[in-house]
Structure 1
Amino acid sequence: MEVDGVDKADYIKVVDECYLCDLCYMTKCPYVPPHEWNVDFPHLMLRAKAVKLKNGGAAFRDRFLAGTDRLGKLVTAIPSVDLAVNALNKKPGVRKLLSRQLGVHPDATLPEYRHNTARRRARSLPAESSEPVATDTTTGKVALFTTCYGNFNKPEVCEALIRVFRHNNLEVILANDEVCCGMPKLEMGDIDAVVRAGQHNVAMLDDLIARGYDIVAPVPSCVLMFKQELPLMLPEDSAVQRVQRAMFDPFEYLMLRHRAGLLNLDFKQSLGDVSYQVACHLRVQNIGLKTRDVLNLVPDTTVHAIERCSGHDGTYAVRNESRDAAVKIARPVARKVDEQQGAHFASDCPMAAQMIADVSKNDILPEHPMNLLCKAYGL
């Protein structure tokens, strides 16, 4: 069907259903460059979301779910509050209330919080023992942008990253004074909020770059924000361009070190067969399957990559009105994981991994590739 066959009254339905995975631009649409029409459908949808937000505002639920750093700081500030919130989020009565009052689907797994955040854990981790070695593409000095999810919800991923990088003689520090990258607000079309957050983070990261640090972040969506979205929004900002050039996916960085002969290949245990879902926002970065390539360096390890969307999108799988559609999108991936029956199942996106595990008919444990690499090193 051509666009002129779609009722204009239904255009907004398309906008609402688009969760900016960007895969239509990457794999489906025939009108992207070098075609003369040069259609960027994801960013067309983003513009529509921005107009909708400006004209009608956003629902409280959407603003609440997009406030990831504010909520994370609140829940993890005091010991035991995280445990109480996690327990409440699993109670059927509470979930029914959240569904009725906020539109949060009762079957959606909500992220758990950890008082022992990544920043707290990092204080007790051993430092690197030798001077980092620079290459043509990497400085050997890394600043970790922990992200909201990495700091408050999955601190074990950041801990594993620090251990693995230091095990490879890389200097690792934490990026200071970071705020949410803004990806949850981008999904709402809140461009102003994204730009404000971006300018704050870019100023901080640019200072680290001037001191010789490269930047990594454990969540693909956050990496994509600095590699793609902010440069599109602020094309004349030279600091944004510097951050774009210095921002790396963690496994992209490790593979660059490997090409320079600097990756530690002294692995202590194999991982066997690994079912690996390639996150959409990792595919969009156009860097190849670096996570697969690094894990395949572990002896007696075979990574089976699944390049299909999980349907999660951060909030799409959480909302009452879109949960069923998200499950439908995730089902083929879960079916593939079930068929492979690997020793491990992993995705670079923790939310995608959890979504697939929820839909799976088997009792699979979602893991992060960095934790698997940490295990392979025996750390």
Structure 2
Amino acid sequence: MADDDKNISYKPTDGLCYDPSEKKYWDEEALGKEITRVFEVCHGCRMCFKYCDSFPTLFSLLDEKYDGNVRKLTGDDTRAVMNACFQCKLCEVQCPYTPRDGHEFQLDFPKLVHRYAAIERRKRGTTLQDKLVGDPDFAGKAARMSGGMVNSMNRVRLHRWFMEKVLDVHRDKQLPDFASQTFESWAEAEGLTKQGPGGEVVLFQTCFVQHNEPQIGRDTVEVMKRNGVDLRCAKGLQCCGMPAWERGDLKGLRRKAHQSLDVLMPYVEAGAKVLAINPTCSMMLRREWPELLEGADRERATKLAAATMDPSEFLWSIRNEERFDTNFKSSPQGPVAYHAPCHLRTQGVGFKGRDLLRKLPGVKPQLVMECCGHDGTHAMTTHGFEPSQRVGKLAFEGMQKAEAKWWATDCPLAAIQFEQHAGRKPLHPMSLLARAYRGDSFEAPSAPASPYRRETEAPEEVEAEGHEEERSR
């Protein structure tokens, strides 16, 4: 009987491996067996048709080109399916066949994509795009060295065209400004880094708060202090490594994780919880590091994972204690549109940011659960910018339909996506609470259309050249 006539078993092949410390993980033939099996399972199930473009691409190829025969998919077909995944993780949340659920199929599509990307990265080596887009700490330091010039240049039409050609960053993508002062520098000036290991919690501010929006970190510190939490800050923390891992850079991820573990473990050993502000980062610390690191770092990461929490999750855990402060001096009142980030949903911690907003007098949060489509660096790229808008459309509409003057989300990158494509920038729940504690005004926030498309449109001759190249890809 020809191989094409044999049924493909849904059960794991001998190529199954999700551990990059094992030699089999890097075996392309072993990976190929698992890709064929997983594609066959997904082809038969189709529960995840509504998430990223990976599944519609796969199903369309099988239905329209290969008469349902997974074995006929080419290398280019597989690459198209894998490259369309932006690691929102919602398919893993939805899938009934995962290791998390103890199912015999042991299927984890996002990890399969990561394995594929890691092998592809090893073959191609490190590019300039990998270095600059996959290392936010490097980009943040370089931006500060420019004295603010980077922020200005990111709004210059010709410069953005150049970035698109060299770095694959879409010319119309709204990019966050870089702060002149890092969160760590502020925390050190406030004496928050001098106490050393101990305390109740230590803040993992994340690279985005560190380099782009330190105010979110400041608001988190203020809210925790208002509630009697002994919070410490640490010096020398690195990016969680997700931007590197998105591009298959395991070495880069491990290097950054090792440095952060050196900083955080003394706090963990002293009994402190680790509060990671960005949901992607808390997911990395909780779920990815214990599986991606090796040796002693894997052991340390397992201990760290057990101590990691989201700030809203931690604050909610002390809501019934006497120290929990409900003395809010102001409140937005009425409906507040709350977006639940995908990477919080994959951690299974519930909607604690939304629940905390209910503590504000007169506030009625309106929950929106659809993916916003940003997902790390995906929405920044030339191939991800348009799909990210399409994927996020339901989330944009959901926030707008809430008819709320104030929007909230725990994900700072999602906030950028909403600002550009839905007309209003949500605040982090910690920032909304901080405003209420301070008694700041909650007058209706202005919501002008994002200036990015208007300011970054290329001159006609450049625009024509760019589209000509895009059509040829």
Give the TM-score taking structure 2 as reference length.
Answer: 0.73
SS at match of 2:161: helix
- Counterpart-to-counterpart distance in 2, 1:102 and 1:186: 17
Q: Map of 1:1-379 to 2, 5 A cutoff?
A: 1-2=43-44, 5-6=69-70, 7-9=73-75, 10-27=77-94, 29-32=95-98, 33-77=101-145, 81-125=146-190, 141-234=200-293, 237-272=298-333, 273-360=335-422, 363-378=423-438
Q: CA deviation at 1:330?
A: 1.3
- Counterpart-to-counterpart distance in 2, 1:342 and 1:324: 26
Name the structure 1 match of 2:32.
none
- Counterpart-to-counterpart distance in 2, 1:366 and 1:260: 29
SS at match of 2:261: helix
- Counterpart-to-counterpart distance in 2, 1:365 and 1:111: 12
Q: CA deviation at 1:113?
A: 0.5
- Counterpart-to-counterpart distance in 2, 1:250 and 1:187: 25
SS at match of 2:380: coil
Is the contact between residue 341 and residue 414 of structure 2 (CA under 8 Å) also seen in structure 1? yes
The amino acid across from 1:343 in the alignment is K
Q: CA deviation at 1:211?
A: 2.9
Q: CA deviation at 1:86?
A: 0.7
SS at match of 2:87: coil
Q: 1:342-376: CA deviations, max 9, x gaps?
A: 1211211111111122111xx42332221101011
Q: CA deviation at 1:124?
A: 5.0
Is the contact between residue 132 and residue 138 of structure 2 (CA under 8 Å) also seen in structure 1? no
Is the contact between residue 176 and residue 212 of structure 2 (CA under 8 Å) also seen in structure 1? yes
Change (3 A) 1:125 1:372: farther
SS at match of 2:274: strand
Q: 1:186-207: CA deviations, max 9, x gaps?
A: 1111122212221221122111
Q: 1:101-138: CA deviations, max 9, x gaps?
A: 322111101110011221232245587xxxxxxxxxxx
Q: 1:153-183: CA deviations, max 9, x gaps?
A: 0100000001111111112221221111111
Change (3 A) 1:116 1:290: same
Q: CA deviation at 1:246?
A: 1.1
Q: CA deviation at 1:280?
A: 1.0
The amino acid across from 1:84 in the alignment is M
Change (3 A) 1:143 1:338: same
- Counterpart-to-counterpart distance in 1, 2:168 and 2:384: 10
SS at match of 1:143: strand
Aligned-residue CA RMSD in angstroms? 2.0
Q: CA deviation at 1:378?
A: 1.7
- Counterpart-to-counterpart distance in 2, 1:261 and 1:238: 36
Q: CA deviation at 1:82?
A: 4.6
Change (3 A) 1:95 1:239: same
Change (3 A) 1:123 1:200: closer
Change (3 A) 1:162 1:74: same
Change (3 A) 1:223 1:106: same
- Counterpart-to-counterpart distance in 2, 1:235 and 1:228: 14
Q: CA deviation at 1:85?
A: 1.2
The amino acid across from 1:376 in the alignment is A
- Counterpart-to-counterpart distance in 2, 1:301 and 1:125: 32
The amino acid across from 1:177 in the alignment is G
Is the contact between residue 82 and residue 114 of structure 1 (CA under 8 Å) also seen in structure 2? no
Change (3 A) 1:125 1:204: closer
Give the TM-score taking structure 1 as reference length.
Answer: 0.90
- Counterpart-to-counterpart distance in 2, 1:277 and 1:82: 34
Structure label with greater radius of gyration: 2
Identify unmatched segments of 5+ residues in structure 2. Answer: 1-42, 45-57, 59-67, 193-197, 440-473
Change (3 A) 1:323 1:208: same
Of 224-233 and 363-372, the range deviating more from structure 2: 363-372
Identify unmatched segments of 5+ residues in structure 1. Answer: 128-138
Of 53-62 and 274-283, the range deviating more from structure 2: 53-62
Is the contact between residue 226 and residue 244 of structure 1 (CA under 8 Å) also seen in structure 2? yes
- Counterpart-to-counterpart distance in 1, 2:85 and 2:189: 42
Q: CA deviation at 1:289?
A: 0.5
- Counterpart-to-counterpart distance in 2, 1:203 and 1:50: 25
The amino acid across from 2:292 in the alignment is M
The amino acid across from 1:101 in the alignment is V
- Residues matched between the structures, number: 362
- Counterpart-to-counterpart distance in 2, 1:326 and 1:314: 11
- Counterpart-to-counterpart distance in 2, 1:327 and 1:150: 24
Of 156-165 and 29-38, the range deviating more from structure 2: 29-38
Is the contact between residue 201 and residue 275 of structure 2 (CA under 8 Å) also seen in structure 1? yes
